[in-house]
Amino acid sequence: MTTEHFSQPSIWARTWKGSRPFRPVFVVLVVVFVVLAIAQPVFASAQNLQNLLTSISVLWIVAMGMTLVLITAGADLSVAPIGALAGILLAKLLQAGIPAWLAIIISLVGGAALGGLVNGTLIGRFNVSFFVVTLGTLTAFTGIVNLWSNTESIPVNEPVILNLAVTRFLGLSGPVWIMIIIFVVTLFIQQRTFFGRDVYAVGGSISAARLSGIRVPRTIILVYAFSGLCAAIAGIVAISRIGVASPQVDANLPLQAIAAVLLGGTALSGGTGGVVGTAFGVLFIGVLSNGLSIAGVPSFWQQIVTGVILVVAVLADRIGLRRRTKSTTETSGTQPPESITAPEELAAKTSH
Amino acid sequence: MTDTVTPPPLLQMEGIEKSYGGVRALRDGRLIIQQPGTVHGLIGENGSGKSTILGILSGQIRPDGGALLVEGRPVSFSSPVDALRTGIAMVSQETALAPLLSVTENILLGRRLVRGRTGIDWRRSHQRAKLVLDRLGLTYDPRAPIGSLRPDQRQMVEIARALSLDSRVLILDEPTSSLSEDEVASIFQVIRNLSSAGVSTILVTHRLSELFEICDEITVLRDGRTVASGAAASFNPESLVSAMVGDTAAQKRVKRERIAIPAAARDSAPVLTALNVSSEPDLHNVELSLRPGEIVGLAGLVGAGRSDLLEAIFGARPRTGDVLIENVTLAPGRPSAAIRRGIGYVPPDRKTQGVVLGMSVVDNAMMVASSDRFRLRPPGTRRDVQAVSAIGSSISIRTHDLGVAVSTLSGGNQQKVALSKWLIDPPRVLLLDEPTRGVDVAAKAEIHQILVDLADRGVALLVSSSENDELLNICDRIVVMLRGRVVATVARVDADEAKLSRLSGGHLDD
């Protein structure tokens, strides 16, 4: 028997199909971009676009980790204080004379540990609601940040870190390169590893995943550890841009990241979506806020537009989904409440 | 000639028809209740159309044809509310109560709490609920939360709720399936109280003894037809069972795909042994063993503990007692450990447990085989895709593209995907719960063939099914469960549908 009667669609066909969730935000992004470029020539200048990318780097990096968390049908509200904690840890280590490379590694491991061992273990191992856990750690970690730093910024003079923001390579700043690297790594995890499949399986159906031998608690712990790692990287990038480890916890950061992920077509219910859509979601938020500020429109408008687009995009997807499921149920007919012995079946039995 | 006009029957359903797609669930449903206060038993195998005819009577399903008359007047229900207005109320199999609310709130759920000048008048609401409970002879505290009551008591609160709507016909769909004998007795007392108050009951049950104990009349459905009805006294257990399963010729039409148990299966040592396996409160001291190449069936009513047993062995629910794989104990409570030891499990609900609907055929099929691989390795390699497509074509998964989401496939093909994950790298023991539920006839036959082929390759299969003909079709041996215990084991050559029905219903005398 031949095994090749299943066709393998071309990579383009697959990419087109896979892009369905983030097509709306992509279209809106392109339209907004073109309109801004025509109305405000400054907007499309190389200089401005470089600034734009640098300005979204923190949100972008956090949103990458957040994407995997949302695919598991969770969310991580504690990313902002984890980033701040990693930054303060880095500043204190540098003050204590630890070499920069070691201090960076320790801070990153610390961020991953806070995400994985605290958030991930409570959610994955003890089945506490992600909302309760990460709201709790958001609050508690914020308290630790303030207590530890005495609510004072700690200056960082380490050239390795400060140069990150100013050095340019191929015209792009260090933070932009970091966000590109994080994007590629996350995309690789998502598409090209079994771990990535586990993430989708856990979000798609936690019991199907468990019954298929997937180690669900471990998957969830690693996903929150990755989110914590991304938050720590974002925290260090933030230091490189302002030169101090700030105890200011941006309470808006997790919500903005979740908004970007949702704009990019990942569903809050888990199991679908991905980082490509998230990238467009973050770009949309960045382009809108940059473009409107160039045009002199108050930044509150950016919030209003982002909010409206977010709800409209999810609503459009929901309506489209309803239409699609309706058409499939209509063709297959309503399922009977019990399994029915059909006449054909009886005939089949008698004929044998 | 005297002028006595017999009053029209309280309830009359004649020639009821209903089809789903191409499947005819009901072709000639008939159900007549002559007088108020009658207890009417409704019985039939799975798939005989019981739920459909009751769904039509309670306004949940619209019939394709036939007549429904209440006191001689034709009626047509477009919703359960219409049926309730006419006095027909259904108490469903699964209790639909809000556990944290009080008995009163559940009985008067919605708009029927008594309103005073300052919001809800709780004192009068409780009094009103008490009144309803009194009619049933129940002495519960109307203030108690539902969650503090036993399952049978909750069932009674549901009955009370139906009664508070001034129902004249109460439909009870298997009220006793999950209850102990004492609890069943208390439900029956309530039914008798209702009966003397002029409220009729339609009782669905699989337990023959219960029918004879409480019913005045019995209607038997088979293949969507009412095949017998009459006074309970005119039936006996044998005549009921033969009405349910059809004539003796019908029993012979079962297709026997497996002629003989392979020699290997008869002689070799058991690959799986369950010793004293319990999982309170659903499963008690189960012992059974499986030999390589053997297909063992699990028969029993819904709620008899078949699903619980499979879950307990696989580790999907906590258990006590030992499960041995070739004489080595298996750790409880961890499916991933069971899989590594060579046990597979196809769960009953494919949409939430069997497959991940949003993922592709390849990803679903590879889920088990890859569960032990290093997690940073790439999925969907050429070799994996080839393995899946080989399995896919050998069991005829019908899709043009293995990369499509499983949600786009038909039910039968989804079930084959759920099976395929255990075929890439076959386990030594495969547990299956309702492997053909909700799939079409052709897919059902194909799935049976897959199972028989697996057994021929030396895999031991434990198949739980509520369809006895399916078990007779493929199993070498059938274990019958009742209320969480194994009550009988019969070789297939000694089994027929009537015998399995009797054993499942608790008639163990033969």
Q: Is the pLDDT of residue B381 over 70?
A: yes
Query: Is B21 in contact with A332 (Cβ distance < 8 A)?
Result: yes
- Mean pLDDT over each residue of chain B, to the nearest integer: 83
SS3 state of residue B259: coil
pLDDT given for residue A344 in this prediction: 36
Query: Residue A263: what residue type?
Result: L
Query: Is B352 in contact with A207 (Cβ distance < 8 A)?
Result: yes
Question: Which residue of B57, B362, B430, B441 is the best one to mutate when testing the A interface, meaning the one whose CB has the most A CBs within 10 A?
Answer: B441
Name the pairing type of β-strands B460-464 and B429-433.
Answer: parallel
Q: Chain A residue with minimal CA distance to B345?
A: A211
Separation CA B79–CA B479 (nearest Å): 41
Q: Which of A134-138, B182-186, B401-405 has the highest mean pLDDT?
A: A134-138
CA B439 to chain centre: 16
Q: Is the pLDDT of residue B480 over 60?
A: yes
pLDDT given for residue B297 in this prediction: 93
Separation CA B388–CA B417 (nearest Å): 10
Give the global pTM. 0.79
Lowest mean pLDDT among A114-123, B48-57, B101-110, B332-341: B101-110
Q: Band of the pLDDT at B22, cuts 50, 70, 90?
A: low
Query: What's the Cα-to-Cα distance from A91 to each of A57, A113, A141, rounded to whole Å?
Result: 20, 18, 17
Q: Is the pLDDT of residue B31 over 50?
A: yes
Looking at per-residue pLDDT, the higher value among A298 and A277 belongs to: A277
Q: Band of the pLDDT at B506, cuts 50, 70, 90?
A: confident
Q: Band of the pLDDT at B224, cuts 50, 70, 90?
A: confident
SS3 state of residue B42: strand
Separation CA B229–CA B240 (nearest Å): 10
Q: Is A132 exposed, middle or buried (0-12, 13-18, 19+ CB in 10 A)?
A: exposed
Separation CA A127–CA A210 (nearest Å): 14
The answer to whether A195 contacts chain B (CB < 8 Å) is: yes
Contacts 24+ apart (CB under 8 A), B397-404: B397/B361, B399/A6, B399/B361, B400/A6, B400/A7, B401/A6, B401/A7, B401/A8, B401/A9, B402/A6, B402/A8, B402/B360, B402/B361, B402/B362, B402/B365, B403/A8, B403/A9, B403/A14, B403/B360, B403/B361, B403/B362, B404/B360, B404/B361
CA A209 to chain centre: 22
Q: Band of the pLDDT at A348, cuts 50, 70, 90?
A: very low
pLDDT given for residue A296 in this prediction: 84
Sign of CA dihedral A93, A95, A101, A104: positive
Separation CA A120–CA A304 (nearest Å): 33
Q: Which residue reads 């400060």 in tokens? A: A162
pLDDT given for residue B287 in this prediction: 92
Lowest mean pLDDT among A168-182, B142-156, B403-417: B142-156
Q: Is the pLDDT of residue A4 over 80?
A: no
Q: Which residue reads 């598409």 in tokens? A: A191
Q: Encode pLDDT of B430-465 as tens digits.
A: 999 999 887 776 778 888 888 988 888 889 999 999
Q: Band of the pLDDT at A19, cuts 50, 70, 90?
A: confident
pLDDT given for residue A131 in this prediction: 95
Q: Band of the pLDDT at A218, cuts 50, 70, 90?
A: very high
Q: Chain B residue with minimal CA distance to A14?
A: B403
The answer to whether the beta carbons of residues B197 and B20 sit under 8 Å apart is no
Q: Which of A64, A115, A81 is nearest to A220 (CA)?
A: A115
Q: What percent of chain A has pLDDT over 70?
A: 88
Q: Band of the pLDDT at A339, cuts 50, 70, 90?
A: very low
pLDDT given for residue B509 in this prediction: 59
Q: How would you classify residue A73: left for phi > 0, otherwise alpha for psi between -120 and 50, otherwise beta? A: left
Separation CA A287–CA A34 (nearest Å): 11
Q: Is the pLDDT of residue A16 over 90?
A: no
For residue B23, give the nearest of A8, A210, A340 by CB distance: A340
Query: Is A196 in contact with B444 (Cβ distance < 8 A)?
Result: no
Structure tokens at B104: 């009163």
Q: Which residues contact B466 (CB under 8 A, 6 or more apart)?
A: B46, B301, B302, B434
Q: Encode pLDDT of B115-125 as tens digits.
A: 777 778 888 88
pLDDT given for residue A8 in this prediction: 64
Q: Chain B residue with minimal CA distance to A212?
A: B368
Query: What's the Cα-to-Cα distance from B231 to each of B41, B173, B217, rounded to whole Å?
Result: 10, 20, 4
- Mean pLDDT over each residue of chain A, to the nearest integer: 84
Complex ipTM more than 0.90, yes or no: no
Q: Which of A53-67, A163-177, B28-42 has the highest mean pLDDT?
A: A53-67
Looking at per-residue pLDDT, the higher value among A205 and B253 belongs to: A205
Q: Is the pLDDT of residue B482 over 60?
A: yes
Q: Is the pLDDT of residue A96 over 80?
A: yes
pLDDT given for residue A234 in this prediction: 95
Which residues of chain A neighbour B356 with C-beta distances below 8 Å?
Answer: 200-201, 204-205, 208-209, 271
Number of H helices and E strands in chain B, helices first, is 18, 22
Q: Band of the pLDDT at B100, cuts 50, 70, 90?
A: confident
pLDDT given for residue A147 in this prediction: 92
pLDDT given for residue B96 in this prediction: 65
Query: What's the Cα-to-Cα distance from B444 to each of A250, A339, B299, rounded to whole Å?
Result: 57, 12, 18
Q: Band of the pLDDT at A232, cuts 50, 70, 90?
A: very high
pLDDT given for residue A63 in this prediction: 96
Query: Residue A78: what residue type?
Result: S
Question: Which residue of B367, B430, B431, B439 is the best one to mutate when testing the A interface, meaning the one whose CB has the most A CBs within 10 A?
Answer: B367
Sign of CA dihedral B406, B408, B409, B410: positive
For residue B378, give the nearest of A193, A208, A272 by CB distance: A193
Lowest mean pLDDT among A66-70, A213-217, A301-305, B36-40: A301-305
For residue A345, give the nearest of B314, B370, B441 by CB distance: B441
Mean pLDDT over A284-290 rounds to 89
Q: Is the pLDDT of residue B256 over 50?
A: no
Looking at per-residue pLDDT, the higher value among B241 and B248 belongs to: B241
3-state secondary structure B163-209: HCCCCCEEEEECCCCCCCHHHHHHHHHHHHHHHHCCCEEEEECCCHH
The answer to whether the beta carbons of residues A153 and A84 sit under 8 Å apart is no
Mean pLDDT over B173-187 rounds to 75
The answer to whether A121 contacts chain B (CB < 8 Å) is: no
pLDDT given for residue B417 in this prediction: 92
Rounded to the nearest 5 degrees, what angle is found at the Cα of B396, between the Cα atoms of B393 and B399? 90
Mean pLDDT over B38-45 rounds to 88
Separation CA A242–CA B205 (nearest Å): 74
The answer to whether the beta carbons of residues A337 and B55 sit under 8 Å apart is yes
Q: What percent of chain B has pLDDT over 70?
A: 90
3-state secondary structure chain A: CCCCCCCCCCHHHHHHHHCHHHHHHHHHHHHHHHHHHHHCHHHHCHHHHHHHHHHCHHHHHHHHHHHHHHHCCCCCCCHHHHHHHHHHHHHHHHHCCCCHHHHHHHHHHHHHHHHHHHHHHHHHHCCCCHHHHHHHHHHHHHHHHHHHHCCCCEECCCHHHHHHHHCEECCEEHHHHHHHHHHHHHHHHHHHCHHHHHHHHHHHCHHHHHHCCCCHHHHHHHHHHHHHHHHHHHHHHHHHHHCEECCCCCCHHHHHHHHHHHHCCCCCCCCCCCHHHHHHHHHHHHHHHHHHHHCCCCHHHHHHHHHHHHHHHHHHHHHHHHHHHHHHHHHHCCCCCCCCCCHHHHHHHHHC
Residues forming beta bridges with residue B290, ordered by sequence position: B272
Which residues of chain B neighbour A336 with C-beta distances below 8 Å?
Answer: 20, 23, 25, 52
Q: Which residues contact B194 (CB under 8 A, 6 or more apart)?
A: B136, B159, B163, B170, B201
Separation CA A41–CA A62 (nearest Å): 30
**A23-39 helix and A299-332 helix, angle to the nearest 10 degrees:** 150
For residue A193, give the nearest of B367, B377, B394 by CB distance: B377
Query: Is B437 in contact with A339 (Cβ distance < 8 A)?
Result: yes
**A216-242 helix and A174-192 helix, angle to the nearest 10 degrees:** 170
Lowest mean pLDDT among A13-17, A108-112, A271-275: A13-17
Q: Band of the pLDDT at B94, cuts 50, 70, 90?
A: low
Q: Chain B residue with minimal CA distance to A214?
A: B371
pLDDT given for residue B202 in this prediction: 93
> For chain B, percent helix, then strand, then coil, each to nearest 5?
35, 25, 40
Query: Is A271 in contact with B358 (Cβ distance < 8 A)?
Result: yes
Q: Is A193 exposed, middle or buried (0-12, 13-18, 19+ CB in 10 A)?
A: middle
The answer to whether B224 contacts chain A (CB < 8 Å) is: yes
Mean pLDDT over B284-302 rounds to 90
Q: Is the pLDDT of residue A352 over 80?
A: no
B103 CB-side CA count, 13 A: 25
Mean pLDDT over B384-410 rounds to 83
What are residue B328's phi and psi, to 5 degrees?
-115, 130
Mean pLDDT over B221-235 rounds to 88
SS3 state of residue B296: strand
